[in-house]
Structure 1
Amino acid sequence: MAVPYPVEPMLAVPGELPQDCDEYALEVKWDGIRALAYVDGGVRVSGRHGADFTSRYPEIAACMAPLAGRRAVVDGEVVAFDPQGRPSFARLQRRMHVTDPAGARLLGHLPVSYMPFDLLHLDGHTLLDLPYRDRRELLDSLGLGAPPYLPCEPEVLEATRRQGLEGVVAKRLDSPYLPGRRVEWWVKVKNLLTTEVVVAGWRPGKGRRAGGVGSLLLGMYGEASPGRFGFQFVGHVGTGFTDAMLEDTHRLLKPLGIGQSPFSSGLPRQITKDARWVRPEIVGEVAFTMWTLDGRLRNPVWRGVRIDKVPAEVRREERE
C-alpha cells in the first residue's frame, strides 16, 4: 500500500480524567501545533487540512532519520522550547509564518522540536485499525525519541501543573485512529483554560501603541438564537502581545478591512467605538480565567495566531 497523503489528524474532546483510568494512558499535552510526517524516500510534513509544513520545519526531517529506507506516517506535535526547557507558544509563533527558516537564519536562533506520539502507516501497512497501545509500541521501537506515555493517574496531571505544562491527553488503550474525527477515546485535560478565537476587528492603540493595534475584537461561531447559527462576540483582548506580535497582527489584518461589523447581532457602543472591522479569517488563541454568564471571555491574554485552524471550526468548547 502506498503511503497516504495527506492524512487528517484525529482530534480529542475536552474533559476531565476518565473514571475508568485503567483503560487509558496519558500523554503530555505539548503547547505546539499538530504535524504529520510522511516518510517515503524523502520527508513531507502536513498540518491540519493538508497545510504543507515541509519547508517551515526542516527539523522534522532530521527527526525521521532513523526511518531511512522505510515508509511511514507519523503523527506528532511541533514544539518550541524556551531557555528553561519549557514549551513556549510565543517562540513557536515566530516560526509559523516563515517558509524558509534557514534563509531567515532562525534554525539556530529559534529551533523547534518534533514530539512524535502516533504511528499510522509502516512499510506498506496501514495501522489505523490497530489499538493505540499497539501503535505506540511500534512507534517506540523505531528510535524516533517519542516521549513516553504515562499511567492514567491524577498525580501525572498534577506533575504537569507544577511544571507549568498545558496538561495531558488521556487516550484509550484500545482505540483505533479515525482520521479527521473528534472522538471521546481521546480526552484533553488542561491545566490552563485556552481557546481559539476569530479576529473580527481591532481598536486603535494609544500612547506607545498609537498608530497600530490596541486591542482585538474576538468572535466564535455558535447558536445566535434557538435554531439560528451565527458569528458571536466573545470579548476583546489587549494583553499578551509583544511589539513584534502587534506589528505582525496589524500587517495580517490591514488587507482584510471591511465597512461593517461581521457579527450576527449588534453590540453596545462602548464596544464598537473606534472599531476597525475585518473579514473574520484570522484565527488566534487566548488564555483566560473563565466564561462569564453572558458568554464573554474573562481576563483573556493573547497567545498568538493559529495558522493551523479554520475560522468556521472555532466554537466554544464545554467541559464535560
Structure 2
Amino acid sequence: MTLPVYRPMLAQPGPPPTGGDSGTWSVEVKWDGMRALIYIDGGRVRVRSRGGLDITGSFPELRELGGAVRAERVVLDGEIVAFGPDGRVSFSGLQERMHVRRPVRVAELARRVPATVMLFDVLHIDAESLVRRPYRERRERLHGLVAPGRHWQVPEVFSDAEAVLEATRRLGLEGIVCKQLASPYRPGRRSPTWTKIKHAQVADVVIGGWRPAGSPARQRVSALLLGVPDGSGRLRYVGTVKTGFTDAARRDLAVRLRALGESRNPFTGRPEDEPLHGVRWVSPELVGEVRALEWTANRRLRLAIWRGLRHDLRPVDVGPTLGR
C-alpha cells in the first residue's frame, strides 16, 4: 500500500487570539522558509514542495529522517529553512538551494548552506490517516514519533500570542502562526483555524512583464511587472518591483524572461501606474517572492522589494489570497 498524497493546509491572515481564547490555540514561530511535506516509507524519504514538486534531490541531508521516525510509514508537514553565519534564518541562503538539481552542486551547497526542516504536524502514521484528528493530538504524536537529529527540529509551541509576536519582531523573524488546538487538518485549503500574523507583507507573485536595461549582449532586468491569479484563470496586476535584485539576479532573470516572451499583455486590463514604453510581456510562468510595506486600498504592492524566484511554486499555487 502506498502513502496517500496530501496537499498542505494553509493559514489565513488574521488577528492573534486574546484573553479567554488563548488556551484553545497553539502559537508558533512563522519561519521564513519553504513549506514541504515529507513522505517516509520503509526508511525511504521523499520531499515535496507546497505545489507538489519532488524536491528530494535538492535536500539530501533530509534523507536521514528515514531512520529517525518510530514508524514504518509517515507523512510529516514542516518548513525547510537555512541559517546564516549569525545563526538567524536566511531566506537568501535557502534560495541558493531551491532550484539546484545537479548532484555535485547540491552536495557542495548542502555542506555550505545546510538545511533544517522545522516539523510541526504529522498527517499519517502507518495505516492511519490523522487529518481528521485535532491538532493537539497530532502535535503530541509528533513529539513521540521523531528522534532528534542534525537537520530537523520539532519547535516549541506557546500560548501567549502577543508575547511571541513581540519576541519574533525583536529577533527579526517573519511572524507567528496560531492554530486552534481542536482543528482538523484540511489538505489544500486555507482555513481560519490557522491564522498568520506577519511583521511585514510577504507575497508570492507571478511575473507578467519586465523592463530591460543595458545592451543586448549584457541585458539585465530593471523592473518586473507582477500579478496574482484572480480566481478565474486571469492574472490581476498588483504593481512593479525595481529594488532588491543582485546584479547576478538581474542578468539571470533577463535570460529566463527572454525565453518566455509574448506579444500580448497577460494582465486583466492595462497596468495604469507604470509607463509601458519598452516593457516586454512574458508568458506568466515564473513565480517570485516580494516583501512590501503594505497592500494599498486598491490592492497594489507598496514599496516592494524583490526576494527571489520561488522554484518550488507554480502560478497555479499562487491563490487570489494576498500574501502567503
> Residue in 1 aligned with 2:16?
17
> Residue in 1 aligned with 2:34?
33
3-state DSSP of counterpart to 1:28? strand
The one-letter code sitting in structure 1 at the alignment partner of 2:29 is V
* Counterpart pick for 1:125 among 107, 125, 128: 128
CA separation in 2, counterparts of 1:66 and 1:221? 40
* Counterpart pick for 1:188 among 189, 196, 200: 196
3-state DSSP of counterpart to 2:166? helix
1:127-164 CA-to-partner distances (Å, cap 9, x unmatched) read: 11211111111111122431111113311111001000
- Scaled by the length of structure 1, the TM-score of the pair is 0.90
1:256 aligns with 2:260: yes
- The question of whether the paired residues in 2 share the 8 Å contact of 1:214 and 1:238 is answered with yes
3-state DSSP of counterpart to 1:216? strand
- The question of whether the paired residues in 1 share the 8 Å contact of 2:210 and 2:222 is answered with yes
> Residue in 1 aligned with 2:137?
134
- 1:12-161 residue pairs with structure 2 within 5 A? 12-19=11-18, 20-41=21-42, 42-67=44-69, 70-104=72-106, 105-142=108-145, 143-144=147-148, 145-161=153-169
- The question of whether the paired residues in 2 share the 8 Å contact of 1:3 and 1:73 is answered with no
Deviation at 1:64, TM superposition (A): 4.0
Gaps of 5+ in 2: none
The one-letter code sitting in structure 2 at the alignment partner of 1:164 is G
CA separation in 2, counterparts of 1:300 and 1:128? 37
3-state DSSP of counterpart to 2:51? helix
CA separation in 2, counterparts of 1:31 and 1:44? 22
3-state DSSP of counterpart to 1:303? strand
Deviation at 1:108, TM superposition (A): 0.8
> Residue in 1 aligned with 2:7?
8
CA separation in 1, counterparts of 2:293 and 2:171? 19
Deviation at 1:247, TM superposition (A): 2.9
CA separation in 2, counterparts of 1:14 and 1:191? 12
- The question of whether the paired residues in 2 share the 8 Å contact of 1:197 and 1:314 is answered with no
- 1:227-242 residue pairs with structure 2 within 5 A? 230-242=234-246
Q: 1:9 to 1:306 in 2, by over 3 A?
A: same
Deviation at 1:230, TM superposition (A): 4.1
1:300 aligns with 2:304: yes
- The question of whether the paired residues in 2 share the 8 Å contact of 1:3 and 1:72 is answered with no
Q: 1:318 to 1:102 in 2, by over 3 A?
A: closer
- The question of whether the paired residues in 2 share the 8 Å contact of 1:197 and 1:218 is answered with yes
CA separation in 2, counterparts of 1:49 and 1:291? 25
- Scaled by the length of structure 2, the TM-score of the pair is 0.89
- Which stretch has the larger CA shift, 178-187 or 140-149? 140-149
- The question of whether the paired residues in 2 share the 8 Å contact of 1:6 and 1:46 is answered with no
CA separation in 2, counterparts of 1:318 and 1:112? 24
> Residue in 2 aligned with 1:197?
205
CA separation in 1, counterparts of 2:27 and 2:315? 29
CA separation in 2, counterparts of 1:293 and 1:129? 38
CA separation in 2, counterparts of 1:283 and 1:98? 16
Deviation at 1:270, TM superposition (A): 4.9
The one-letter code sitting in structure 2 at the alignment partner of 1:189 is I
CA separation in 1, counterparts of 2:188 and 2:35? 12
The one-letter code sitting in structure 2 at the alignment partner of 1:201 is G
Q: 1:181 to 1:268 in 2, by over 3 A?
A: closer
3-state DSSP of counterpart to 2:257? helix
3-state DSSP of counterpart to 1:38? strand
CA separation in 2, counterparts of 1:318 and 1:49? 16
- The question of whether the paired residues in 1 share the 8 Å contact of 2:3 and 2:73 is answered with no
- The question of whether the paired residues in 1 share the 8 Å contact of 2:10 and 2:189 is answered with yes
- Which stretch has the larger CA shift, 102-111 or 40-49? 102-111
The one-letter code sitting in structure 2 at the alignment partner of 1:34 is R
